[in-house]
Amino acid sequence: MRSLKVLAAVVIAGAVILGPGLPAFAETATLAASDAVIRNGYAASPSANDGLWYREDTRPGGSVFNTKTFGAPAGLGDGSLVLSTISDNVAKAQLMTSRTVRGTNLADVTGLSYWTYQSLALGSIAEAGPSFQLRVDVDGDLNTTTDVTNLVYEPYWNDTEGPAPQQPLAPNTWQLWDMTGGQWWTSKQITCGAFSVAPGAGGPPFTSPSEVATNCAGAKVLQIGVNVGSYNPNYLVAVDGIHFQSTTDDITWNFGPK
């Protein structure tokens, strides 16, 4: 997540899929992500069959909740997920899931997108936006954790600065971000043979999921989610329509209270 830019600067259908820890069936679905599937903390046993979302690394001063305050993008009901922080650099807001995605080969990911909304109600900066987190096990061995990294997509690095399609960040409106070919930074060092990407700490150097997949052949997805990182005070942003597509699955999460 941006650290004050100066520092960075329900229908289910399908066929059987193979692989340990994966759902019995491939899925094409829009899944309701109401308050009933949101939990505090971490999953005791992460699984692709776990339909819950977790406020994992949400810290004091950070909040994650569903609301109808900002409505939703067309076709996604009348509510959405809000991430907010108070005027304290320690505050952090995060929501993650392993549902369907855990164990997916990174090379099989074909589409990633989400809708975002930035409210100026708290007087936040004009370029505020929730980041998207793609948690990856670089060597594909889910029993080891030293090579786990977050690939992070941020709208403000992908507006007029990023690859096409481009759009300026606009407050108080819903915007769709196609992240598939975007600019991503990594939270930890990635090294696969001659391929190396240093941690971005909120900005460059950039990579992409496809570039990592090409050079780290065994890489697997562990989780996806959204985040407002520390050193981002007074954020009030919303998310909806998180979309994950692979060669076997096509899932959209529709957030909002019942």
Higher pLDDT, 143 or 123: 143
User: How much of the chain, in percent, has pLDDT values that exceed 70?
Assistant: 88
Higher pLDDT, 166 or 67: 67
Q: Is a pLDDT exceeding 80 seen at residue 151?
A: yes
What's the pLDDT band for 163 if we cut at 50, 70, 90? Answer: confident
Q: Is a pLDDT exceeding 90 seen at residue 220?
A: yes
Average pLDDT over residues 89-109: 96
Q: Is a pLDDT exceeding 90 seen at residue 133?
A: yes
* Cβ atoms within 10 Å of 108's Cβ, excluding its own: 14
The angle formed by the CA atoms of residues 231, 72 and 99, to the nearest 5 degrees, is 70
* SS3 at position 38: strand
Instruction: State both tokens at 15.
Output: 């066929």
Average pLDDT over residues 235-239: 93
Higher pLDDT, 50 or 5: 50
The pLDDT mean for the chain works out to 87
Average pLDDT over residues 45-69: 96
Of 233, 237, 229, which is closest to residue 81 (Cα–Cα)? 237
Higher pLDDT, 195 or 235: 195
Q: Is a pLDDT exceeding 80 seen at residue 5?
A: no
Extents of the domains making up the chain: 5-255
What's the pLDDT band for 7 if we cut at 50, 70, 90? Answer: very low
What's the pLDDT band for 135 if we cut at 50, 70, 90? Answer: very high
Beta strands in 193-235 (DSSP E): 195-197, 220-228
188 vs 53, 146, 149, 202, CA distance in Å? 23, 10, 5, 11
What's the pLDDT band for 162 if we cut at 50, 70, 90? Answer: confident
Higher pLDDT, 127 or 242: 242
Fold entry, domain 5-255? Jelly Rolls (2.60.120)
CA distance 234 to 124: 6
